[in-house]
Amino acid sequence: MWPSCWTRPCTTSSTAGWACATTTPSPSPPEPIRPLLPAEPVGDLLELHRAAGIQLRVLDNLWPYWAAVTGSSPGSSGIRLRNAKPAPADPGPAG
């Protein structure tokens, strides 16, 4: 029985690789993780986003925008903000 936080080499499949860890121990082996397929060209990625109605923003300083979002929207998530540059003492106006 393997603890839920471990992964181990897959021994139940002909596919080489690692096995997924489960949240609860199980007598059956976990399902194998299969490698991704090679990357495929998708064309103009910015145009695809525009056509899908996805708004992209490139900002040197995220924090004025984030201050505007959190001041106007309930339930905002900043899960990736740890990857941003540090917030200045005064984020300034959103632009």
pLDDT tens digits for 33-56? 888 889 899 999 999 999 999 988
Average pLDDT on 2-11 reads 46
| Reported confidence tier of residue 80, pLDDT bands at 50, 70, 90 | confident
Inform me whether the pLDDT recorded for 7 exceeds 60.
no
| Reported confidence tier of residue 78, pLDDT bands at 50, 70, 90 | confident
Return d(Cα 58, Cα 7) in angstroms, integer.
37
Average pLDDT on 73-93 reads 77
Which residue, 43, 83, 76, 35, is CA-closest to 59?
A: 83
Which residue, 24, 18, 19, is CA-closest to 1?
A: 24
Phi and psi angles of residue 63, each rounded to the nearest 5 degrees, phi first: -65, -40
